[in-house]
Structure 1
Amino acid sequence: MTGTNFGHHRKIMPFEPGSVEDLREQARNKAAGLNQHVLGYGLQAEAEWAAAGIAAPDMPALRKYRLDRIRTELARRGYAGALLYDPVNIRYATDSTNMQLWVAHNPTRHCFVATDGPVVLFDYFSCEHLSDHSGVVDEVRPAVSWMYLYSGELTEMKVERWAQGIADVVREHGGGNRRIAVDHLDHEGVDALARLGISPGNGEAVMETARLIKSPDEILCMRRSIVACEAAVGEMEAALRPGISENELWAELHRGNIARGGEWIETRLLASGPRTNPWFQECSSRVVEAGDLVAFDTDLIGPYGFCADLSRTWLCGDGEPTNEQRELYSIAADQIACNTALLKPGVGFRELVERAAVPPPDCFPARYGVLFHGVGLADEYPTLPHAADWTADTPDGVLEPGMVVCVESYIGRLGGHEGVKIEEQILISEDGHEQLSSYPLDKRLLGK
């Protein structure tokens, strides 16, 4: 399914020179021309991508591919369109951004993708210029936010005004269909839409399915994001020395990501020494000591909004690792290698986890929560647990070309002193797989 190209909504009457409307249009055009997505990622990132031999993606083709994926899925499920609040989903649909982390917990920006019609972006006040670059947003309207921050005890009143605006778009472009997919919506919004005859369905299912298979241009974006991430990881490793705090070390990854046009990091998963076991300690003020293991998970949203999700464990200082550190590292590296080798199109999810290598008995209780998970603009469907954790409500499926998955390993003995975290990002190809992450493992810990 493809929508009609309606073009950005603009006034068509000429403005009087110097009028407020004329000045507003001039300001919008100026801001649109200076948008971060128009200016690009800068000389440092571009030089690193050129050195890695990664071509520039065709962004208009990428945007069209994504809209086609969304609309095909909407049509398959019988929806008139999708109402999207998750900033990652809005990025997927429009390739535009606006205060991504802030709007993730302050619902002040949303968009409507018609199955057979326009893309209407409801943006924050005076932010019309932020989507002019994309070529896929047909109209920008002011968002009505009914979160308590703005509506206080008048939420009931404001949610009705919001719902009327959504209902108007559905009536205009739904062709009589009143079923829409919605990714995130509080019950007040669901109830208000229902009173206007609009029936919301599961938009997360639509968007996760649409995002599952990446286009060649999306893979180019992901390759670039990983190169930027790994360059920042290299800067972090160069800064690792006895006496640095975990927070100071983690800041190097943030700095490197932002310097290359990346966007944010989703977690704070870096730990050293005894804080590496059990896993999922957030980084702290602890000072790293010589001989400590330092483990981290990037969870990084880099250039183009793509996730670079890899984990490494390093030995701090110039000394040699202990036998225990080498053994833990060897188990983790072997598990990653074994489970990566299983990846190819046509393999079922359950078959995959049943064949997968798992931690030894004394490490299994402290295992990582999943063996594999999808990744794209963020962590995505599917999430595949250990076979021992598979339940009746764990979804099955099949690996397909164009999917990207992360292979996870955490190895730490139950009650042990330290642990090792390794993770790789893998593309499912037509005839097997390709490892996209390439940052080297710690040779001292490998014993090589």
Structure 2
Amino acid sequence: MSLSGPNRNPADCEPTYDEIQQIQLDRLQRVRNELKKRDYAACVLFDPTHMRYATGSRNMQVYSARNPARYAFIPAEGPVVVFEFGGCLHLAEQLNTVDEVRPAKAISYYFCDSFLTNVTAEWAAEIDELVRKHCGSNKRIAIESATSAAAFELQKLGYQIFDAQEPLERARCIKVPNELKMIRASLRATEAGVRLMESKLVPGISENELWSHLHQHVIATDGDYVETRLLSSGPRTNPWFQECSTRPIEAGDLVALDTDVVGRFGYYADFSRTFLCGEQAATAKQQELYKLAYEQVQTNMEMLKAGRSFKEYAELAWRIPDNYKANRYFALAHGVGMTGEYPYVVHREDIDALGYDGVFEAGMTICVESYIGHDEGGEGVKLEEQIYIHENGIELLSDYPFDPRLMPR
């Protein structure tokens, strides 16, 4: 399987205005196509990531993830209506994907108190009016991230309710033309943020202070937020998933991180690196850990190809040594777009209990993961690369060097 990239051509890492307009229309069409496949009249999207994918609308992403205060009505055919937070209607009015912007009905106790039942009924009636006007007699509708009361109100009006996550995940997993330019733009900005952060890595700096430099750069480059707090040092690198803390980083510590940045254009820049703090040489044990993690990522990258099943990929994947299996990362690989997305491919040891089968397809972007930490303790190493699958090969999207003091010789 041929490997190309990373692509550093500026024209391929920054979409033009016209390309952005077409990307937005193409993404919307992918959503509509998935609705049609399932004979859904429409979907109602509350998840701000889904809203941005389908319409290009961007407003209070984190706030909207926990408050049902804005949403979008996407019919399989017909006009798209964005229901925007009060006072924010102007934010979506110029989008080429949106036919109408209305004020949202915030269907939560926080906003409505004792009026919630009435407001939810009014919300359902407005959705019903749109379906009847634009979708005929079809009463199959998909929703996600709404309150249970919203679904119940639609059921009272005779609707069959389905989960909108499935068609949205399927739409998002294949990238439209020039979508890669947005992904590369997000990666290049995040890579610059990690370079800034690495330049600040000196003995005595706390994990939190070090991590803050990435956050600052994400905002400065028009990104949205960092989804997790995955930076740890020294003994806190094993096991993985110990969130960033006040611990001062010491000379000789390994410092492991996973970017998890929702960056430029709303796209996920997701790669992992492990650094060595200070000027001294790495220990033999640190180099051994790094060698294993590097081998895992490189081997499993080479196994990716269009048409390969998830189960076949799991069987072909790099064998984790026994003493490192207990602390293995939860996934071999996962899809990536505006966030982590379909598919999710687990290890051969886990596939019967936790996994599902499917096929890697051309047009998918995939993150290949590794975490190596001994089951008896000590430090650990986290590495990860972001990949695009072509018809006849793969392209490395992430572009950040490995620490030469830790690299296998």
Q: Does TM-score exceed 0.5, indicating one fold?
A: yes
- Which of 72, 77, 93 is residue 132 of structure 1 equivalent to? 93
Shift of 1:64: 1.3
Shift of 1:392: 5.8
1:92 partner letter: Y
Measure, in 2, the Cα distance between the counterparts of 1:104 and 1:65. 24
CA distance change for structure 1 residues 209 and 287 in 2, over 3 Å: closer, same or farther?
same
Deviates more, 1:53-62 or 1:155-164: 53-62
Q: How does 1:105-116 map to 2 (within 5 A)?
A: 105-116=66-77
Shift of 1:415: 2.5
Shift of 1:185: 2.3
Question: What's the counterpart of residue 270 of structure 1?
Answer: 231
Q: Between Structure 1 and Structure 2, whose CA radius of gyration is higher?
A: 1
Measure, in 2, the Cα distance between the counterparts of 1:125 and 1:186. 19
| 1:146 aligned counterpart, secondary structure | coil
| 2:208 is aligned with 1:247 | yes
Question: What's the counterpart of residue 318 of structure 1?
Answer: 279
Deviates more, 1:264-273 or 1:351-360: 351-360
Measure, in 2, the Cα distance between the counterparts of 1:240 and 1:234. 10
Q: How does 1:362-441 map to 2 (within 5 A)?
A: 362-391=323-352, 394-441=355-402
Shift of 1:394: 2.8
1:228 partner letter: A
Q: How does 1:119-268 map to 2 (within 5 A)?
A: 119-268=80-229
CA distance change for structure 1 residues 264 and 197 in 2, over 3 Å: closer, same or farther?
same
Question: What's the counterpart of residue 78 of structure 1?
Answer: 39
Shift of 1:393: 6.3
1:351 partner letter: E
Measure, in 1, the Cα distance between the counterparts of 2:259 and 2:14. 24
Structure 1, unaligned runs of 5 or more: 1-48
Shift of 1:56: 2.1
CA contact (8 A) 1:358 1:364 kept: no
Question: What's the counterpart of residue 79 of structure 2?
Answer: 118
Measure, in 2, the Cα distance between the counterparts of 1:321 and 1:151. 58
CA contact (8 A) 2:328 2:372 kept: yes
Question: What's the counterpart of residue 22 of structure 1?
Answer: none
Shift of 1:51: 5.3
Deviates more, 1:213-222 or 1:371-380: 213-222
CA contact (8 A) 2:72 2:80 kept: yes
Measure, in 2, the Cα distance between the counterparts of 1:82 and 1:415. 49
Measure, in 2, the Cα distance between the counterparts of 1:88 and 1:55. 21
| 1:314 aligned counterpart, secondary structure | strand
CA contact (8 A) 2:236 2:242 kept: yes
**1:280-319 per-position Cα deviation (integer Å, ceiling 9, x unaligned):** 0000000000000000000001100000000000000000
- Which of 221, 232, 240 is residue 279 of structure 1 equivalent to? 240
CA contact (8 A) 2:67 2:108 kept: yes
Deviates more, 1:71-80 or 1:391-400: 391-400
Question: What's the counterpart of residue 5 of structure 2?
Answer: none
CA distance change for structure 1 residues 71 and 242 in 2, over 3 Å: closer, same or farther?
same
Shift of 1:54: 2.7
| 2:13 is aligned with 1:54 | yes
Measure, in 2, the Cα distance between the counterparts of 1:360 and 1:316. 27
Measure, in 1, the Cα distance between the counterparts of 2:185 and 2:391. 21
| 2:381 aligned counterpart, secondary structure | strand
